[in-house]
Amino acid sequence: MTEQSDWWGSEFGSEYMLRNPRHPDEMQALYLRRFGMDRTTMNEEFLHAVPRDARILEVGCNVGVQLNLLARMGFTDLHGVEINPVAVEHAEVLNTDLPIVVEEGTALDLPFADASFDLVYTSGVLIHIHPDDLARVQREMVRCASRWIWGLEYYADNGHLEIPYRGQQGLLWKTDFAKAFLANAPGLRLAMQRLYTYLDEPGGVQDQMYLLERQS
């Protein structure tokens, strides 16, 4: 376990869950306010070539809202892994009757076989991994993916920058996570990337969405 895993697995992580959108419509509204487009519109641009029956894993899925949005887009084989046990319990209740399976586990040591998913992704999770652990997490994701890596993360083009998170150090960093994947896991190519500027924050803060593909 790392210091970051301890935080997310504990009461701190459960409080995050209670503070943030737990319904897909609330999540769509948040993206609309923040970026001027909802999350499904962003997803469609990157996932149009991914078959709807692709086996997909979200690492750090919390209560499964992102998975729920993918189910609404027609994806039929959705899996999540999450370090916070309370979020896993909520994910089960919130996603009943949808093709979503969530289990407890850590990004540092994913409980899945090599190449057992077509696509593995994160949304706002790599930003919470300590820079010393990032290569390990990214290699774990690539190990479990037979074809695609996808992500949306907080972006910086000038290094790996730490930002205080709720007044604390050691919890949030931003960087070019697509570039880090290419450096940490050979054999990938960048298929697509786009930067989204926050409309609800000053200073040109951006998120980066990227799609990486194994080179054949």
Ligand X SMILES: C[S@@+](CC[C@H](N)C(=O)[O-])C[C@H]1O[C@@H](n2cnc3c(N)ncnc32)[C@H](O)[C@@H]1O
Minimum CB distance to ligand X, residue 124 (Å): 4
Among the listed ranges 41-49, 70-78, 122-130, 159-167, the one in contact with ligand X (CB under 6 A) is 122-130
Q: Does 110 bind ligand X (CB under 6 A)?
A: no
Decide if residue 66 touches ligand X (CB under 6 A).
yes
- Residue written as tokens 């992580």? 13
User: What would the DSSP string read from start to end of 183-197?
Assistant: HHSTTEEEEEEEEEE
Nearer to ligand X by C-beta: 124 or 170?
A: 124
Q: 168-179: string of b/e by CB count within 10 Å (b at 16+)? A: eeebbbbbbbbe
Which tokens hold the place of 122? Answer: 């994160």
Task: Report which secondary-structure segment, H or E, holds 214.
Answer: strand 206-214
C-alpha span between 155 and 143 (Å, rounded): 24
144 binds ligand X (CB under 6 A): no
x/- mask, ligand X, residues 4-43, rule CB under 6 A, reads xx--x----x------------------------------
Binding site for ligand X (CB under 6 A): 4-5, 8, 13, 60-62, 65-66, 82-84, 87, 106-108, 123-125, 128
